[in-house]
Every structure is written in structure tokens, then in C-alpha cells.
Chain A
Amino acid sequence: MNISTTTTGRLALLDLESKPTPLNATLMLLGGIVGAISFAIVFWMLATEGHASFNTSSDVAWGAPIAYYLFFLLASSGLSIIASLDTVFGVKVFYPIAKRCVWLSIITLVTGFTLLALELGHPFRMLWAMPTGLQIKSPMWWMGVLYSIDFVLLLMKFYRLHQGDWESRHTHHLSVASFVICILAPGTLGLVFGMMAMRPAWYSPVMPMYFILTGFATATAFMLFIGSLAPRGTDTSPEMRLLNDEVLPRLFFLAVLAVVAMRFGQILTGLWSNYEGMEANWRALRHPLFYVELLGYMTALVLAAKTDWRASPGLQFVASVIFMIAMFSARLELLIVGQEVPLFKGYWAGYTNYWPSFTEWMLVPLGMGMFLFLYGAGDWLLRLNEARAPALQRR
């Protein structure tokens, strides 16, 4: 990854004259094929069976697609926070990846909302019913509003950076607004769950903080993953080396550590409480997803703990992928645990038994394919390696 710098002039939006690198072509091809096939399958199932092709029911209202969109939306906010470390707080070491982070934030947001649209009963009705409903008591309404603003601000911010405008007052104000929203949006998403007193396994004032933190941790894993894909031999800039070998892995380690500490507190509280609905935490201990999450966090921690291990691109790749799988499991586990104990269905109903259907699982390659395709296309056409110059001297 070389840092090219752009400081002046209006530039074309798409850099069509450049040729895609082998990595870009691979990502786009892989993402396009996987995404298209899985979309075709999901579309066919929804067209023929409707949402009955999901394993959700009147007892388990929210299924795996909600977990997937949580994963992408929270990662989007985390990526936006990383971008803001440079553009708002002036932490210069993040200059080389600020623009890339903004693009990643945009495409994870788009991917998350695409998955959500496939889960909703009437996604297009949402476009007029939510603004006209104006139900300000609903955290979901606020979530929709804030993520819409987030999306617009990210596009505007990316456009300005793409035009080479890193320093102007407008860009700074835009970045500050974007940062505020990228804290409020995942926080409100946390409230969508955390305010539900009738779902004790979710009910927590700490849920917004948990969502922001886990989103940030996922974002560091995304950046580590992206960084590990780039061939290091071609990158000679000391800024990128500092970022990829030291700063990002360290940030990743600290973020994972914070997530583990928070989860430890959550689990202990859940196991201790005898309040109805919290029995689900005991049941979660016997669920395979819990062990995927636990092992994933621990492996990522170990791999990022040692200085020379965390500087190795191969181990960075492994650690970030393992952590993302663990976080993905944690999102799904959160959904299941919160609905494990049915509300008012009688004693004979017992625990709910939910596991995603084939159609629901197909949304995973659909989301990943879409993400890889958009990232490959962005890296090819949008000069994501641009940074404000000269970055290191400003530290």
C-alpha cells in the first residue's frame, strides 16, 4: 500500500483509467460470484416461500438476519470512529487509512441495510411510513433517522476527501458531525435492545456502550484484515509500516481485551440473576455459539499479545478473521439468548429452539460477497490509498 497524496484540484469521481490490481480483481470476482449466487437463492426462496423460509416464528420474532445487520452496522460505526481519530482528533498516525475507513464504513452500512431490507416484511413501505409516523418514542425510529444521517454524512465526507479537501473548515465540521452521529447511531441501536425491560437478557443501560465498543473492536479487525491482504513488500512508507505493524494490532488487542472484560461481566450477571428470562444465560453456556465466541476472543487475544506475532501479516489475518467469526457468533448468540425464554406461552411451551434456516444462512455469503465486491471496486476506482500529505511530519 503506497501513499499517494492529493492536495489540489477537482478530480474525477471514478478513476477509470487505472487497472485493477490482482487483489482487487480477485475480491470483486469472488465477491460478485458469491454475492450473486446467494442473492439469487435468497430471492428465489423469498419469492416462493416468503419469510416462512426463515426459521423465525411468533415466539422468536427476530432471527439471524438481524444479527448479521448488527454485525455490519456496528462495524460501520467503528470504522467511522477510526476515521475520525484522524479527521476529528488529529491523531496523525491514522492519516493513511482515514479515507479507506470512510469507504469501508459506507459499504458496511450499505451491506447491513441490504440484509435488513431482506428481513423486513415491507422494506419499501418503511421509506414513507417511518418519516410520516414520527414516533419519537421508538428507539427504532431514532435508529433509522440517525443511520440515515450517518449515511449521508459519510458520503459527503468521502466526497470531500476524494476531492482532496482534507484541511478546510467545512471538512472538519463535516467530520465532527459524522463522529457525533457514529457514536449516537450504534448507541441508539443498543437502546433498541437495551430498553426492552420485558426481555431481561437484553435489558441493560450498558447495551449502547457494549454495541459501540464491539463495533469498534470489529472495525479494528476489519482494518487488520484489509491491511494483511495488501502485499507488504510493495509498501515502503514508514507511516503504513508503523500503522500496520504496531498501532493497529495494539489497538485491536486493547479493543478485544475490553470486549472480553465486558462480556465476562455480562455473563456473570446473567448467571447470577434469578429474574425470569435470565435462565437463558445458563442455556447459552451449552450453546455451541458461546464456545465459538469464547475461543475466538481468546485466540485473537493470544495472537495479538506478543509483539512479533501481532506484527506478522499472516497472524494478523488469522487473528482478525477468527475475531470476526467470534463477533459474528456473539451477535447471533445475543439474538437467541434474548428470545430463548418465551413470553407468556405457558409452562408447557418450554424454551424456544431457534437455529437459522438455509435461506437465513445464505444471507451470510450474500453480505460477505457484497462487501468484498464493493471494497474491491472502491480500492480500484476510488484511490483509497490517498492521504493528506505529508502525514508523518505532522505527528
Chain B
Amino acid sequence: MARWGMVIDLERCTGCQACTTACQLENTRLPGEHWQDVLFYNEGEYPSGKLSWLPRPCMHCENPSCVAVCPTRATYKTEDGVVLVNWDRCIGCRYCMIACPYGVRFYAEEKQKTQPDVRKVWPSDEGKIWNPPWAMPKHRQDMKRGIGVQPKNVVSKCTFCYHRVSQAPKGTPDLDPNDPKTRDFTPACVVTCAPNARWFGDLDNPNSKVRKLIAEKRGVRLNDQTGNRPQVYYLAGEAAAIPETRSVRRKEG
């Protein structure tokens, strides 16, 4: 069984947010609800100020704290290493959102950040949060895996586009968007990445590109001190660096 993981090369990433947009459309997310986001950081001041960015999907941790805290087992990890939410079991307690060190979980029952409120523009009569005009076909939607247009009052998160990835032939080491045989099985954010900054493959397969990149280019995981052991690795290379990811910095003195 594969153990899917992602590698993101910060040397190549331009912070264009195409991944964010592709994810929004693929997974019918609400505006501002970014399962896949690009975070921006600035350090220092003019003339030596520095702007950096960090693409951030769900880390699909090896040891996910969100799974451990979920009192109903609505959040679970699949055999191929993907963390999913069973929307039919979720009670909307949001403990997983508290416990996720990477802030990648969302609860759509909030005041909308953008207007008009698309939930009211395209209301659902099927108990869903909305009825988007571009939803994926119903036969691909899967409530037990948190895929598709979500019901009300449940938590949602990046699925590594499990509706695509789970269809890949067994034993595939890499899901390469440039290979026509695997393109349809590759997560939307990887497919759309213009500078080819993302790779997706089997972390346990010694022949996979992701594994080689992690070994050869010294892939690192974020916040490894939490013990969650993300399955998303970052390559900094020579021209980039992992930004200092503090959300706020206290001024000294």
C-alpha cells in the first residue's frame, strides 16, 4: 500500500496562488476557505526587508493529532496515509481545529469574509452548505471521505484530492501531472502548479521521485517538534529558506 506524500520546492514556488484557486474550484470551497493556501511572511524593514511565502496544504501527518482528539472517529487516516473527515460522523465540536498545529481545518458556519455571501446566492435545498454552480459530479462526491459539497455544521479539510489519488493504479510510485497516464490521478494543486514546484508520490516507494528529492535535497517538515510527522516536505535549496513561521512577533524592549 502506498503512503502518499507531497514535496514542495520553495526555490521554484512563486507564491502565485494558482494552487489555492485550483483547490477552490476542484473541491467547491467557499471564498476565503482555503484548504490549500499560500502564507506570506515579511521580516526586517526597508531597505533590507524580506518577503517570503509558504504554500500550505494539509500536512496529512503520520501521527495526526486531529485524529487522536476526534471523539467520534469522524477524522481518520486511510491505509494509504491520507487524513480524511467522515462528514456523516462529524458532530462539529471543532476539537480537531484546536488540535491541528498547522491550522488547516475549516468550519464553514461563520460570517463570510467576502460579499455577497455565496451561500445565500446559491442556497442548497439538500442540507448542504451551498449549491455551487461548478460542483463536481455527484457520483464522485463522497460524504464518508469529506469529498464534494459539504453538509452544514461539519469540519472540512484538504483531502489530497482523494477522489483522484485513490483511483491511481496500485504500485504507482509518482503521480506526475506531466505524464498523461497519471495526470488525472494527481491532486489539483500539483497539476496546476505552473513552475512545477510540487511533486506527489509514494513516500514508501524507494523509486519514487518524492523520496529521492527528500533524500537528495534535504527535505524538511514544518514544526517537527510537535511529533505529528507531516507527509508534506519542503525543499529550501540555495535560493530560498523556510520562513520564520511565527504568526506574530513581540517587539523587544
Contacts and interface: CB of A to CB of B under 8 A. Distances in A.
Interface of A: 50-52, 54-59, 61-62, 120-123, 125-126, 129-130, 132-135, 137-141, 144, 192, 196-199, 274, 276, 279, 282, 339, 341-351
A339 B40 CA distance: 20
B95 interface: yes
Contacts of B65: 198
A52 B111 contact: yes
18 contacts: A50-B153, A52-B111, A54-B109, A58-B97, A62-B98, A121-B93, A126-B71, A126-B72, A130-B71, A133-B70, A133-B74, A140-B71, A141-B71, A192-B95, A344-B245, A347-B41, A347-B249, A350-B248
Interface centre among A52, A192, A199 (most CB of B within 10 A): A52
A122 B107 CA distance: 13
Interface in B213-250: 222, 226, 245-250
Nearest to A347: B41
B39 A56 contact: no
Contacts of A141: 71
A258 to B, nearest CB: 28
A339 B97 CA distance: 11
Contacts of A54: 109-110
B152 interface: yes
Contacts of A344: 39, 56, 101-104, 222, 245, 247
B212 to A, nearest CB: 27
Contacts of B74: 129, 133
A122 B86 CA distance: 13
A120 B93 contact: yes
Chain B binding site: helix, strand, loop or mixed by DSSP? Answer: loop
B103 A130 contact: no
Nearest to A143: B71
A62 B98 CA distance: 8
A55 B154 CA distance: 17
B40 A347 contact: yes
Contacts of B68: 135, 137-138
Contacts of B100: 198, 343
Given A121-B152, A129-B91, A141-B71, 6 more contacts: A61-B94, A120-B91, A130-B71, A133-B73, A144-B71, A347-B39
A54 B94 CA distance: 14
Contact of A133 (B41, B56, B89, B92): B89
Nearest to B42: A347
Contacts of A144: 71
B111 A55 contact: yes
A135 B86 CA distance: 14
B69 interface: yes
B153 A57 contact: no
Q: Which 9 A-B pairs have the closest CB atoms?
A: A121-B92, A121-B153, A346-B39, A343-B103, A129-B72, A51-B109, A198-B101, A133-B73, A61-B97
Nearest to B97: A61
Contacts of B112: 52
